[in-house]
């Protein structure tokens, strides 16, 4: 029976004592939450505010906000690795080659001025065009093919000699050709070109060569420098080969490639001409040299060290 107090309500104090429950520890998630809250209040908030304050303060050297990325010691470097305020190098170039597809390819490779620093200001496909464009644009460097309609690269050099001799704004020439024959290399170097590289050169190396020529350096593809050294070390004039003189520059190119074992299709691709044109050049060479087949052509070219 339940005991009652004077008011008639159940007497709760009369209930038998219940055993004390052991104190329950805080739950792990509660403790972690408390720790995180304390940490955020004591560490995260002051650090974040400190960073914002630091970014909003004027830079000591430049007097501008470091957050704005403007002038000051913390400013970003200019493109090309130069420091802030440094002027990027630029070089103005004219392309001279009688193959439009090759000119287009070179322009696509090196003509991205923002990345390479090279600005292509003109193009030409023959000697007359080359002289006209070079005279009008006055570039720092001309990329010059050796074999051109109208007299070849040597003729361009001869007619542009006054521009090369200009003390204030000289025009410098870098030969860029598929040919690596000694007579071609020596001919344009004697004509005044500052260097000679073959069309197997990479775009990066070509850009580097252009800037070096602009600076007045001499630049050559591997092994071609030896031709120049040998030629200028000798005091004797090279002997005249009447048979070789009968051939045009293009026929000499085809002859060399035939002697090196190239197929007609490979020659056409190398020289940017059709297979039919290669066949016509081979026939002309055989007729002029009074030879019967490509094997005799190979022996003839090897004997004259044209390979």
Q: For the chain, how far is it from start to end, CA to CA, in angstroms?
A: 127
Sequence-ordered strand ranges (E) for the chain:
91-96, 118-124, 141-144, 172-177, 195-198, 219-220
Integer Cα distance of 84 and 77 in angstroms:
5
List pLDDT tens digits, range 129-176.
Answer: 999 999 999 999 999 999 888 888 999 999 999 999 888 899 999 999
Instruction: Tell me what pLDDT residue 102 has.
Output: 92
Instruction: Tell me what pLDDT residue 97 has.
Output: 95
List pLDDT tens digits, range 186-240.
Answer: 889 889 999 999 998 999 999 999 999 999 999 998 878 777 777 666 555 455 5
Task: State which of 59-73, 126-140, 279-293 shows the largest mean pLDDT.
Answer: 126-140
- The yes-or-no verdict on residue 85 having pLDDT over 90 is no
Instruction: Tell me what pLDDT residue 232 has.
Output: 66
Averaged confidence pLDDT in the chain:
75
Opening angle at CA 282, ends 305 and 202, nearest 5: 65
Cβ proximity of 213 and 141 under 8 Å: yes
Instruction: Tell me what pLDDT residue 231 has.
Output: 66
9-23, 55-69, 124-138, 166-180: least confidently modelled range = 55-69
181 or 46, which is more confident? 181
Residues across the chain: 307
Cβ proximity of 281 and 251 under 8 Å: yes
Instruction: Tell me what pLDDT residue 214 has.
Output: 94
Integer Cα distance of 124 and 94 in angstroms:
8
């Amino acid at each position: 029976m339940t005991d009652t107090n004077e008011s008639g309500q159940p007497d709760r104090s009369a209930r038998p004592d219940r055993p004390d429950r052991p104190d329950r520890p805080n739950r792990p998630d509660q403790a972690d939450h408390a720790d995180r809250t304390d940490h955020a209040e004591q560490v995260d908030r002051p650090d974040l505010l400190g960073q914002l304050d630091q970014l909003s303060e004027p830079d000591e050297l430049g007097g501008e906000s470091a957050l704005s990325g403007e002038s000051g010691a913390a400013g970003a470097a200019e493109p090309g690795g130069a420091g802030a305020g440094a002027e990027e190098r630029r070089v103005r170039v004219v392309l001279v080659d009688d193959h439009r597809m090759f000119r287009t390819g070179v322009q696509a490779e090196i003509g991205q001025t923002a990345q390479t620093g090279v600005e292509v200001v003109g193009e030409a496909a023959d000697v007359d065009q080359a002289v006209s464009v070079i005279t009008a644009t006055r570039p720092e460097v001309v990329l010059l093919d050796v074999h051109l309609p109208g007299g070849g690269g040597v003729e361009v050099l001869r007619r542009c000699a006054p521009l090369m001799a200009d003390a204030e704004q000289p025009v410098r020439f870098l030969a860029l050709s598929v040919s690596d024959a000694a007579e071609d290399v020596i001919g344009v170097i004697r004509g005044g070109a500052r260097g000679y590289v073959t069309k197997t050169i990479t775009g990066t190396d070509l850009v580097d060569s252009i800037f070096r020529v602009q600076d007045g350096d001499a630049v050559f593809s591997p092994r071609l420098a030896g031709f120049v050294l040998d030629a200028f070390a000798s005091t004797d004039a090279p002997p005249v080969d009447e048979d070789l003189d009968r051939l045009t520059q293009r026929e000499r190119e085809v002859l060399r490639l035939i002697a090196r074992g190239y197929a007609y299709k490979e020659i056409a691709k190398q020289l940017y001409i059709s297979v039919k044109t290669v066949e016509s050049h081979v026939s002309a060479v055989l007729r002029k040299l009074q030879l019967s087949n490509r094997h005799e052509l190979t022996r003839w070219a090897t004997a004259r060290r044209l390979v």
